[in-house]
A = this chain, B = another copy of it.
Amino acid sequence: MTQIVKARKGIITGEMKTVAEKENVSPEFIAEGLIKGTIVIPKNNRRTFSCEGIGKGLRTKVNANIGTSAESCNHLKELSKLEAAVKCGAHSIMDLSTGGDLSMIRKTVIEKSPVMVGTVPLYEVFADKIRSGGKLKDITPDDFFSAVVRQVRDGVDFITVHCGVNQDLFRSYGSLKRVAGIVSRGGSLTKLWMTETGNENPYYEYFDRLLDIAYEYDVTLSLGDGMRPGGIADAGDGLQLKELKTLGSLVKRCRGKDVQVMVEGPGHVPINEIQFNMEIQKKMCDNAPFYVLGPLVCDVAPGYDHITAAIGGAVAASFGADFLCYVTPAEHLCLPDENDVRQGVTASVIAAHAGDIAKKVHGAAERNIRMSECRKNLDWDGMFLHAIDPETAKNRREASESAEKEYCSMCGDLCALRHEL
Within 8 A of B (CB), among A181-224: 181-185, 187-189, 191-192, 195
A234 closest partner in B (C-beta): B372
Q: Which residues of B contact A304 (CB under 8 A)?
A: 346-347, 350, 388-389, 392
What are 26 A-B pairs at a CB distance below 8 A? A71-B409, A98-B412, A126-B414, A179-B376, A180-B375, A181-B420, A185-B414, A187-B416, A231-B375, A232-B365, A233-B372, A271-B354, A298-B350, A298-B368, A299-B372, A300-B386, A301-B387, A301-B389, A302-B396, A303-B392, A303-B393, A304-B346, A307-B310, A311-B311, A332-B408, A334-B400
Please tell me if the beta carbons of A416 and B270 are within 8 angstroms of each other in the complex: no
Please tell me if the beta carbons of B388 and A301 are within 8 angstroms of each other in the complex: yes
A418 closest partner in B (C-beta): B188
Contact pattern, A 351-364, Cβ under 8 Å of B = 1, otherwise 0: 10111011100000
CB contact under 8 A between A387 and B335, given known A123-B414, A232-B365? no
Cβ-defined partner of A410 (8 Å) among B299, B334, B367, B419 = B334
Is A22 among interface residues, defined by CB-CB distance under 8 A?
no
Contact pattern, A 388-421, Cβ under 8 Å of B = 1, otherwise 0: 1100110011011110010011111111110111
Q: Which residues of B contact A409 (CB under 8 A)?
A: 69, 71-72, 334-335
Chain B: minimal CB distance from A405 (Å): 7
Q: Which residues of B contact A400 (CB under 8 A)?
A: 71-72, 333-335
Please tell me if the beta carbons of B179 and A372 are within 8 angstroms of each other in the complex: yes
Is A383 among interface residues, defined by CB-CB distance under 8 A?
yes
Chain B: minimal CB distance from A407 (Å): 8
Please tell me if the beta carbons of A357 and B410 are within 8 angstroms of each other in the complex: no
Contact pattern, A 228-249, Cβ under 8 Å of B = 1, otherwise 0: 0011111000000000000000
Categorize the interface residue count of chain A: 35 or more
Please tell me if the beta carbons of B69 and A411 are within 8 angstroms of each other in the complex: yes
Please tell me if the beta carbons of A69 and B355 are within 8 angstroms of each other in the complex: no
Please tell me if the beta carbons of A389 and B192 are within 8 angstroms of each other in the complex: no
Q: Which residues of B contact A130 (CB under 8 A)?
A: 413-414
Chain B: minimal CB distance from A71 (Å): 4
Please tell me if the beta carbons of A412 and B99 are within 8 angstroms of each other in the complex: yes
A229 closest partner in B (C-beta): B372
Is A21 among interface residues, defined by CB-CB distance under 8 A?
no
Q: Which residues of B contact A351 (CB under 8 A)?
A: 311
A residues near B (Cβ < 8 Å) are 69-72, 98-99, 123, 126-127, 130, 179-185, 187-189, 191-192, 195, 230-234, 270-272, 297-304, 306-308, 310-311, 314-315, 318, 329-336, 346-347, 350-351, 353-355, 357-359, 365, 367-369, 371-373, 375-376, 383, 386-389, 392-393, 396-397, 399-402, 405, 408-417, 419-421
Q: Which residues of B contact A230 (CB under 8 A)?
A: 372, 375-376, 416
Q: Which residues of B contact A182 (CB under 8 A)?
A: 416, 420
Please tell me if the beta carbons of A416 and B188 are within 8 angstroms of each other in the complex: yes
A330 closest partner in B (C-beta): B396
Chain B: minimal CB distance from A283 (Å): 20
CB contact under 8 A between A334 and B402, given known A231-B368, A365-B233? yes
Q: Which residues of B contact A357 (CB under 8 A)?
A: 232, 270-272, 297-298
Q: Which residues of B contact A365 (CB under 8 A)?
A: 232-233, 270
**Inter-chain pairs besides A183-B417, A270-B357, 5 sampled, C-beta below 8 Å:** A69-B411, A126-B414, A179-B369, A298-B368, A335-B409
